Amino acid sequence: MSSRIVKVELADRSYDVVVGMGAVSSLPKYLPKKAKRAVIITQQGIDNQVSDMVEAAGLQCETAYIGRGEEFKSLQTIQQLCESFAQWGITRNDLIIGVGGGMVTDVAGFAAASWHRGTDVIHVSTSLVGMVDAAIGGKTGVNLPAGKNLVGAFWQPKAVICDTAFLATLPSKELRCGHGEMAKYHFLTGDDLVSLDLDDRVARCAQIKADIVSSDEREGGLRALLNYGHTLGHAIEIETNFALAHGEAVAIGLIFASKLAHSLGRIPKERVDYHLRIVGETYGLQTAIPKSCSLDRLVTLMAKDKKAVDGLTFVLDGPQGVETVAGIQPQIVHQTLEAMEVL
Ligand code: GLY
């Protein structure tokens, strides 16, 4: 096994992201010495060698299963988890380990942030979205009926383990979602990610994210670039009633963002073509707007986006690279949407 180590640099809260085939075997090295017990938070069906490893390292281990689906990413799940922690006598010296995709690590992270006002957490990420995005950077939280991820906390893990062996059995929809997020990284730096093998590409995406988080942990500026393609992506998710999942919708959002940047004279057509090549050909993702979507409603949803502090706001490519651009006229957004392919 050869793993790559990516560092998230946050002074005394810095941590490793370990990426590679068999990376989970590095877990014992990251178990905090002060911990006597560990709680694994996971879902049924996730291949879980973690409890054996934790017990072999001398910790008492409990496992809490959470349901599958966004409806279980809730405050009720956090309450149930915390009640179990109380029953098991988990102290603030103990450890929580999230083993799963982005939903599991978001919930495990928030439970850890809340339990005794902050308990150590390690994420063992089993999905591509988790490995290149969700498990890294300390964003944790749950949904409310009013919207996704509305309640949460920044709580950095002690380590993130990305064992790429898990990807071999990932369902194709989840793989597409990971590819949507992965495609984004091709445009954030000048790196040639296409030439890298899977493990190196995952590690490089993790490194790009780690560098951004290290320089802007709380999303005061630079971290917003990780939302490239997400403004239309979020609107499409809602407008299709989540028939298109997050990463699939982000893929279309990346194409739209490039076309909008071109309409605004920020990038040449060749750069739009590059976006189409990466998203449509390298990753084989849908690049057209779903025909069920109303363009008017998409524009309305985009105007409500969290980033929209000054009119319609997008993360857009440009001569200085990708940056946040506010105050974009609805008319040009509408025209660019109308010119998109529909499927
Ligand atoms: N998923 C975007 C971020 O972590 O900031």
Q: Can you name the residues that pair with 20 across neighbouring β-strands?
A: 163
Backbone φ and ψ of 164, nearest 5°: -70, -10
Tell the residue nearest (CA) to atom 3 of ligand 1: 226
Helical H segments across the chain, by residue range? 27-30, 50-56, 75-88, 102-114, 128-129, 172-188, 198-215, 230-239, 246-263, 269-276, 295-303, 330-338
239 catalytic? Reply is no
Domain definitions of the chain by residue range: 4-169, 228-339
Mutate which of 227, 234, 250, 324 for ligand 1? The one with the most ligand atoms within 8 Å of its CB, which is 227
Average pLDDT, the chain: 96
Residue ranges lining ligand 1, Cβ < 6 Å: 133, 137, 139, 223, 226
- Tokens of residue 293, six digits: 């979507």
266 catalytic? Reply is no
* 298-323 average pLDDT score: 87
* Nearest ligand 1 atom, CA 227: 2
Among 33, 117, 270, 291, the one annotated catalytic: 117
pLDDT tens across 169-221, in order?
A: 999 999 999 999 999 999 999 899 999 999 999 999 999 999 999 999 999 99
Residue (of 90, 213, 78) closest to 152 by Cα position: 78
Among 37, 73, 123, 230, the one annotated catalytic: 230
Q: Going by C-beta distance under 8 Å and a sequence separation of 6 or more, which residues neighbour residue 189?
A: 208
Among 123, 209, 259, 307, the one annotated catalytic: 209
* 315-324 average pLDDT score: 97
Percent of the chain at pLDDT > 90 equals 93
- Tokens of residue 13, six digits: 């809260």
For domain 228-339, give its CATH number from 1.10.238.10, 3.40.50.720, 1.25.40.10, 1.20.1090.10.
1.20.1090.10
* 301-317 average pLDDT score: 82
* 97-117 average pLDDT score: 98
Q: Fill in the amino acid letter for 246.
A: H
Fold of 4-169: Rossmann fold (3.40.50)
pLDDT tens across 17-62, in order?
A: 999 999 999 999 999 999 999 999 999 999 779 999 999 999 999 9
Tell the residue nearest (CA) to atom 2 of ligand 1: 226
> What is the whole-number distance in angstroms between the Cα of residue 132 and the centre of ligand 1?
10
* Nearest ligand 1 atom, CA 219: 5
> What is the whole-number distance in angstroms between the Cα of residue 171 and the centre of ligand 1?
23
| Distance (Å) of CA 166 to CA 48, 179, 210 | 11, 15, 21
pLDDT band at 304 (very low <50, low <70, confident <90, very high): confident
pLDDT tens across 53-101, in order?
A: 999 999 999 999 999 999 999 999 999 999 999 999 999 999 999 999 9
- Tokens of residue 70, six digits: 């966004």
pLDDT band at 305 (very low <50, low <70, confident <90, very high): confident
> What is the whole-number distance in angstroms between the Cα of residue 28 and the centre of ligand 1?
27
Distance CA 101, CA 160 (A): 12
Q: What confidence score (pLDDT) does residue 306 get?
A: 65
Does residue 307 carry a pLDDT above 90?
Answer: no
Does residue 335 carry a pLDDT above 70?
Answer: yes
Spell out a b/e string for 319-339, using b for 16 or more CB atoms within 10 Å of the CB, else e.
Answer: eeebbbbeebeeeebeebbee
| Distance (Å) of CA 40 to CA 77, 164, 228, 309 | 14, 19, 32, 39
Q: What confidence score (pLDDT) does residue 310 get?
A: 65
7 catalytic? Reply is no
Among 62, 174, 219, 248, the one annotated catalytic: 219
* 294-301 average pLDDT score: 95
